[in-house]
Structure 1
Amino acid sequence: MKVSKAQAAEHREGIVDAAARLYREKGLGGVGVAEITRDAGLTHGGLYRHFASKDALAREACLRAFDWTITPLEGLDTAGADDDPASRLRALVHAYLSENHRDDPGEGCPAAALATDAARAGPEMSEVFAQGVERNIQRFMEVVQGEEPSKRAQTIVTLSSMVGALLLARATAAGNPALSEEILATLREQLAPLGGE
């Protein structure tokens, strides 16, 4: 059956969206083409009409995953924080380092979900991943710090600490839930105490 250009474009978008979510949930090596296409509601063979290879899909899905943004996060409570960078920072840090975000990698931060895989996947994936990380740095600076170039180093420290804490919290959640929660709580308090600074 012939598919219209609009339907083909919709199928392609569905594949990329499914791959972006599944790769964050299971890692680049943890999901196959059949699972991705099934999740997108298509047949296995349909993938190769849209992508030259699984690697090409992985790169595009990684880039799509970075459409997720640390700013703003779903349900972020920034009421009254619009003019206060410390309040915006607290809201972002506390939402990012939450049990909900820890437990839902498929809908969360691609940096925390895909960093190790991207490092091992070769220079093309590393380039795509770097583009996504740079976008997150820029977004975070604009929302929390303003556009002062001097704040870039602090932004990198904060984001790196958040991503690292989320990685450790996810890695320990099943084996030692109390430690996982302690990691999240400790970093929330260190990076953005509720009582302010």
Structure 2
Amino acid sequence: MRKSKQEAAETRQRIVEAASSEFRRKGIGGTALADLMAAAGLTHGGFYKHFDSKDQIVEESLTLAVGSLVEAVESKLSSASGDRGLHAAIADYLSIEHRDSTADGCPFVALGSELSRSSDGVREATTSGFLNLVDVIAARLDGKSPAAAKKEALVILSTMIGALTMARVVTDPELSASILRQARKHLTQ
């Protein structure tokens, strides 16, 4: 029995959502197509009915993950006016909860080294998502020219991504918490 176009679209979206979490949890190389299809509640054989390649699902799942991250940052930014909104976004990103939420957390942290070796399409999606996030942060940096705000946003975002990455990498829980705390302190002074 053939599925309707709507059912096929819903199935495809379910696969993208499952892949987004699985890739962040296990890495791109560590996630077989069978794994992500199982996470979506489907069999491996149906993958190629929806996607041409693993790169295509990586790109689409990355776009979804970055979109969720941008929405979360925008929500925190708009939760308070001025610097308080930016500080709330930084505190949320550089939190123990975000550090420990690998499957739902920042895709740049979870997949950074793999994304740097991915196809041009995946790297373009990564670049686009990163620049979108830079623009969201830059828009909240009052009193600066657009060029100066963008430069500062690049530093803020790069510091956040680097701090969260190292907080996940180190084995000492106290050091991990200190990395997050010191980065928050530095960015919110």
Query: Could you tell me the TM-score, scaled by structure 2's length?
Result: 0.91
Give yes or no for the alignment of 1:96 onto 2:93.
Answer: yes
Q: Matches of 1:97 and 1:76 in 2, distance apart?
A: 13
Give yes or no for the alignment of 1:177 onto 2:173.
Answer: yes
Give the aligned partner of residue 53 of structure 1: 53
Deviations for 1:18-37, whole angstroms, at most 9, x for unmatched residues?
11111111111111111111
Q: 1:53 to 1:70 in 2, by over 3 A?
A: closer
Give the aligned partner of residue 167 of structure 1: 165
Following TM superposition, by how much is the alpha carbon of 1:70 offset from its aligned partner in structure 2, in angstroms? 4.3
Q: 1:74 to 1:134 in 2, by over 3 A?
A: closer
User: Which of 112, 116, 120 lines up with 1:119 in the alignment?
Assistant: 116
Checking the alignment, whether the CA contact within 8 Å between 1:66 and 1:109 is kept in structure 2 is yes
Written as runs of structure 1 = structure 2, the 5 A alignment for 1:15-164 is 15-70=15-70, 72-73=72-73, 76=76, 81-82=80-81, 84=82, 86-142=83-139, 144-145=140-141, 148-149=145-146, 150-164=148-162
Q: 1:71 to 1:192 in 2, by over 3 A?
A: farther
Equivalent residue pairs, number: 187
Query: Could you tell me the TM-score, scaled by structure 1's length?
Result: 0.87
Q: 1:9 to 1:78 in 2, by over 3 A?
A: closer
Q: 1:74 to 1:130 in 2, by over 3 A?
A: closer
CA RMSD for the aligned pairs?
2.0
Unaligned runs of 5+ in 1: none
Q: Matches of 2:184 and 2:89 in 1, distance apart?
A: 10
Q: Matches of 2:102 and 2:74 in 1, distance apart?
A: 14
Unaligned runs of 5+ in 2: none
Q: Matches of 1:148 and 1:43 in 2, distance apart?
A: 52
Following TM superposition, by how much is the alpha carbon of 1:122 offset from its aligned partner in structure 2, in angstroms? 3.1
Give the aligned partner of residue 182 of structure 2: 186
More helix by share: 2
Checking the alignment, whether the CA contact within 8 Å between 2:66 and 2:129 is kept in structure 1 is yes
Q: Matches of 1:139 and 1:21 in 2, distance apart?
A: 24
Following TM superposition, by how much is the alpha carbon of 1:177 offset from its aligned partner in structure 2, in angstroms? 0.8
Q: Matches of 2:155 and 2:19 in 1, distance apart?
A: 29
Q: After TM superposition, what 4+ stretches of structure 1 lie above 6 angstroms from structure 2?
A: none
Letter in 2 for 1:107: D
Letter in 1 for 2:172: N
Letter in 1 for 2:108: A
Q: What fraction of aligned residue pairs are identical, expressed as a percent? A: 36
Following TM superposition, by how much is the alpha carbon of 1:76 offset from its aligned partner in structure 2, in angstroms? 4.4
Q: Matches of 1:95 and 1:33 in 2, distance apart?
A: 32
Q: 1:55 to 1:155 in 2, by over 3 A?
A: same
Following TM superposition, by how much is the alpha carbon of 1:73 offset from its aligned partner in structure 2, in angstroms? 4.5
